[in-house]
Amino acid sequence: MKLENQQSTITNPQFSGGRMIGGNSGNTSFATASILFTGITTGSTQQARGAATITGFSDGARLSLTGSNAATGTFFVTSSTTQVDAAPTYYVVTGSTIEATIANLATEINDYQSTFGIVALASASVLQLTSSAFGVAGNSYNFTSASVVTTLAGGLTLATGSFTLTDTFGVTNRFFITSSNQTIANLSANESVNGSTYYIAGGTGGAATITNIASFLNASASAIVSAASSSTNLLLSSSISGVAGNSVFVVSGSTTTNLAGGTGGSDYPYNFPFIAGGLYVAQPGTLVATTLDGSILTFVSCSGFVPGLFVAVSASSTCGGVIALK
């Protein structure tokens, strides 16, 4: 499908979430960098957890909770619906069953998540508690029912095994090296608009870990870089040709490494990491773009705002200063 001589102009445009998607001249090189990872560790950013089995819930029962910053609260089970919470005293309305009362208790704890730093989940007669923050701090949190104390445990903090990757658009993704595959890891994840957190399984030894990092980056961050490994060096090359790749950088520990050496303008066809709700063309020319349904549209002598749902712009476009609007 080809649309000829489609033009639009706009005065004083004000958009949010836009991204520049390339120029109109050929590239001569891609930006690259070699990053030395030393002393990289494997570990986990697990949250502390605990499960309390509760029986014999009755009106007047008293429970206690100690959480973030040693915040302590007493929870009273009551049939009254008129009691008003006043820290450190909180009220849980009884349900028709123990399970229903535990569900009410979970709701009450979650209402004060900012106070205790604990997320509660009711599962039949079990109250499951999880620190809302990753790391070792949650291991000191505890819940007391009658004489039984349930202490949250298993929280682990990762020290040096993490790094961030910031793309040419200023979006930062964070990567954690873990001792095992985590359920929230996504090997085929795409970059999100506001950045994402990914987990990479460490290998046996530094070289194996770097190999795993390179493989993961190629799967999850292909819109930013392509990666290879050489012993303990991570070799990165911008996925975007030209000088645009020079703005990509990695932060590991206290070291910042910038990709460099990219010259010329980008000539890439670019697939957006989101569905663009329109394009803005700053420098007139021909725009060749792919719509959400896969149609390829050609706008001749195009400038200004181009409405539509777009997923990519072709390298054959001659217009410049194209911005994808989110």
Does residue 99 belong to any structural domain of this protein? Answer: yes
246/178 same-domain check: yes
Does residue 244 belong to any structural domain of this protein? Answer: yes
- Alpha-carbon distance of 118 to 127, in angstroms, equals 12
pLDDT of 178 higher than 80: no
Last residue of a domain, one of 132, 151, 170: 151
- In this prediction, residue 290 carries a pLDDT of 87
Spatial neighbors of 255 by CB under 8 A, at least 6 apart, are none
Q: What is the mean pLDDT of residues 168-195?
A: 57
The dihedral through the CA atoms of 33, 246, 242, 174 has a sign that is positive
Does residue 218 belong to any structural domain of this protein? Answer: yes
Query: How confident is the model over 224-269, as pLDDT tens digits?
Result: 788 898 887 889 998 777 887 888 888 876 678 899 998 876 655 5
132 to 25, 118, 233, 313: CA distances (angstroms): 49, 5, 35, 41
Last residue of a domain, one of 151, 171, 196: 151
Asked which of 68-82, 224-238, 261-275, 308-322 is least confident by mean pLDDT, the reply is 261-275
179/226 same-domain check: yes
39/186 same-domain check: yes
Phi, psi of 98 (to 5 degrees): -60, -40
127/207 same-domain check: no
179/317 same-domain check: no
Domain that holds residue 208: 28-43+158-264
Q: Name the pLDDT band for 209 (thresholds 50, 70, 90).
A: confident
166/226 same-domain check: yes
Does residue 10 belong to any structural domain of this protein? Answer: no
Q: Name the pLDDT band for 193 (thresholds 50, 70, 90).
A: very low
SS (H, E, C) the chain: CCECCCCCCCCCCCCCCCEECCCCCCEEECCEEEEECCCCCCECCCCCEEEEECCCCCCCCEEEEECHHHCEEEEEEECCCCCCCECCEEEEECCCCHHHHHHHHHHHHHHCHHHHCEEEEEECCEEEEEECCCCHHHHHCEEEECCEEEECECCCCCCCCEEEEECCCCCEEEEEEECCCCCCCCCCCCCCCCCCEEEEECCCCHHHHHHHHHHHHHHHCCCCEEEEEECCEEEEEECCCCHHHHHCEEEECCEEEECECCEECCCCCEEEEEEECCEEEEEEEEEEEEECCCCEEEEEEEEEEECCCEEEECCCCCCEEEEECC
The most confident of the ranges 109-118, 153-162, 211-220, 310-319 is 109-118
Does residue 308 belong to any structural domain of this protein? Answer: yes
Does residue 9 belong to any structural domain of this protein? Answer: no
85/131 same-domain check: yes
pLDDT of 171 higher than 80: no
Q: What is the mean pLDDT of residues 24-34?
A: 71
Structurally, how many domains does the chain consist of?
A: 3
Higher local confidence (pLDDT), 258 or 18: 258
Does residue 12 belong to any structural domain of this protein? Answer: no
pLDDT of 206 higher than 80: no
Last residue of a domain, one of 82, 117, 151: 151
- In this prediction, residue 224 carries a pLDDT of 73
239/168 same-domain check: yes
58/76 same-domain check: yes
The dihedral through the CA atoms of 157, 159, 162, 166 has a sign that is positive
121/136 same-domain check: yes
103/243 same-domain check: no
Mean pLDDT of the chain: 77
- In this prediction, residue 267 carries a pLDDT of 57
176/314 same-domain check: no
pTM over 0.85: no
